[in-house]
A and B are shown apart, each in its own frame.
Chain A
Amino acid sequence: MLLHELNPLQQTLREVSRLQRDLNRIFGEGSVSHRRYRYPAVNVWSNENSVIVTCELPGFEPADIDISVEDGVLKISGERKPVELNENERYHRRERETGKFSRLVRMPYQIDSDGVEAHFKNGVLTITLPRAEADKPRKIEIKSA
């Protein structure tokens, strides 16, 4: 609903911003599609002994998420199922994405896969990955003959 008439300057500005949005969409900058290639977005924290990977997975149950580590690559995959609608039920707005995802994150060093821990709280997944003992830098003593 147009509440008030726009003056020519406002109309031009509105045109310009619309054009900018279109261009952004075409060239991918700041567009939503950019995100779809890498879902979920991850943040990685590290020190010399372990890595923490966090990602936002709202609406998932811990059972819907699979985590594995192989060859220094962390794999997170899962599925968010759509809400099943009964008769006479309908969407007015549908922005939340559903479906399967799989994401690979390369670790900075070899991981001790038995020591990997994952916590899921308020839709945020936190994975702690300890560095493999064999991969840790070792100080070599020089023996005097």
Chain B
Amino acid sequence: MTTEVKTTDQATPEMERNHEMQRKVFIPAVDILEKNDTYVVMADMPGVSEDAIDITLEKNVLTIHGTVKPVAHEGYELAYAEYEIGDYERSFTLTDDVDREKIEATLKNGVLHLTMPKAAPAIAKKISVKVA
């Protein structure tokens, strides 16, 4: 018994790496809504907790990534499986009118809500022509 535990301990980093590589990544289903002054993105990411969400903005590409910790049911055997556990990732290209500084994200009941306010339209500047 002791040796068995030891072996697993030693193999852990490698197993974890393997696990990371083997873990499936799903594309979450999303709704994108345009309101008067904001865009709202809703993404289904069941199983993701608030601290496991990663949102990055690189240039114009906004990427959402959610990590799911698989739940092990001690003392139970998986008798029947219809769905698989995996992480979620999806990228969006933002249009120019999104105010990058004001993007907000909330997570509720496994749905990520991104609120992206539209930037105030650039005020047209009137250039007067001076008479020489």
Interface residues of A (CB under 8 A from B): 38, 40-47, 50-52, 54-61, 83, 85-86, 88-97, 108, 120, 122-124, 126
Contacts and interface: CB of A to CB of B under 8 A. Distances in A.
A33 to B, nearest CB: 15
A95 B32 CA distance: 9
Contact of B79 (A40, A45, A85, A122): A45
Contact of B76 (A41, A47, A58, A108): A47
Interface in B36-93: 36, 39, 42, 44-49, 71, 73, 75-83
B26 to A, nearest CB: 11
Contacts of A59: 42, 44, 109-111
A96 B110 contact: no
Contacts of B32: 91-94
A91 B81 CA distance: 34
Given A56-B47, A58-B46, A122-B46, A43 B31 contact: no
Given A38-B82, A58-B110, A89-B35, 20 more contacts: A41-B82, A42-B80, A42-B82, A43-B82, A44-B80, A45-B76, A45-B77, A56-B46, A56-B110, A83-B33, A86-B35, A89-B33, A89-B36, A91-B31, A91-B33, A92-B33, A93-B32, A94-B32, A122-B46, A123-B45
B34 interface: yes
A63 to B, nearest CB: 11
Interface residues of B, number: 31
Interface of B: 29-36, 39, 42, 44-49, 71, 73, 75-83, 107, 109-111
Nearest to B44: A58
A95 B45 contact: no
A58 B82 contact: no
Contacts of B34: 89-92
A40 B105 CA distance: 26
A93 B46 CA distance: 20
Nearest to B109: A123
B100 to A, nearest CB: 19
Given A38-B82, A52-B73, A122-B48, A93 B111 contact: no
A59 B111 CA distance: 6
25 contacts: A42-B82, A44-B78, A50-B76, A56-B46, A56-B110, A58-B109, A58-B111, A59-B42, A59-B44, A83-B42, A88-B36, A89-B36, A91-B34, A95-B30, A95-B31, A96-B30, A96-B44, A108-B79, A122-B107, A122-B109, A123-B44, A123-B45, A123-B109, A123-B110, A124-B46
